Amino acid sequence: MYKGTVWKVGNDVDTDVIIAARYLNDASDENMRKHCLEDAIPNFSQVISAGDILVAGKNFGCGSSREHAPISIKVSGVSCVIAESFARIFYRNAINIGLPIIASPEAAAEIQAGDELEVDVEQGIIKNLTQGKAYQGETFPPFIQEIIAAGNLLNYVKAKVEAK
């Protein structure tokens, strides 16, 4: 269960905007945290509070396959991301590295910046405490839930390889 304040971004937020390629020569968590979303929300790394929730429009994370994008969001302190829809590679990457995400077109449309949310990713339930509304977002198929339960994809694969 995550509780936090909303930051809102629009449609088609691409991975270059989430973390620009000019910072990809240093994949350290500190470098990722420092420059996360800086071309969309100035000084995001300084204004965000740990646990805050990012709400986006359609096709969030489109573009490059860089895993640095969900990593930068995670290490900047964002607890989870809600979007109308996610770009394919970003969706996988978020699951693989353990960044909680929920797709919910209704929630993404109605939630406003600054709203207080309570989110249950496992059940896909989003409660907007400010507006007094609740939404049922998409839940993950059992196979993906196993990856999430393992913490990340490599823990899951390691267990599988070692079992052989």
Partner 1 sequence: MGMTITQKILAAHAGLPEVKAGQLITAKTDIVLSNDITGPVAVREMKKVGITDVFDKDKIAMIPDHFSPTKDIKSAEQCKVIRDFAKEHNIKHYYEVGKMGVEHCLLPEQGIVGPGDLIIGADSHTCTYGALGAFATGMGSTDIAAAMISGETWLRVPEAIKVIVTGKPENSWISGKDVILYIIGQIGVDGALYQSLEFVGDGVQYLSMDSRLTICNMAIEAGAKNGIFAVDDITRAYVKDRFQREPVEYFSDADAEYVREIVVDLSTLQPQVAFPHLPSNTKEIGTFGDVAIDQVVIGSCTNGRMEDMQAAAKILKGKKVAPYLRLIVIPGTPEVYRQCMREGLIDIFMEAGGVVSTPTCGPCLGGYMGILAKGERALATTNRNFIGRMGDPESEVYLCNPVIAAASAITGKISAPEEVEA
What is the binding site for partner 1 (CB under 8 A)?
12, 14, 16-17, 20-22, 24-27, 39, 58-59, 62-68, 70, 85, 87-89, 92-93, 96-97, 141, 143, 152-155, 157-158, 160-161
Pairwise CA distance, residues 93 & 61, whole Å: 10
- Nearer to partner 1 by C-beta: 49 or 155? 155
- Nearer to partner 1 by C-beta: 9 or 117? 9
CB of 3 to partner 1, least distance (A): 27
- Nearer to partner 1 by C-beta: 29 or 106? 29
CB of 55 to partner 1, least distance (A): 17
Whether residue 33 contacts residue 82, with contact meaning beta carbons closer than 8 Å, is answered with no
Query: What DSSP element (H or E) covers 55?
Result: strand 53-56
Pairwise CA distance, residues 83 & 137, whole Å: 10
CB of 90 to partner 1, least distance (A): 8
CB of 35 to partner 1, least distance (A): 11
DSSP assignment of 66-112: -THHHHHHHHTT--EEEES-B-HHHHHHHHHHT--EEE-HHHHHH--
- Nearer to partner 1 by C-beta: 31 or 130? 31
- Nearer to partner 1 by C-beta: 39 or 118? 39
DSSP bridge pairs for 102? 82
CA distances from 139 to 74, 77, 97, 121, 149 (A): 20, 23, 17, 8, 14
CB of 20 to partner 1, least distance (A): 5
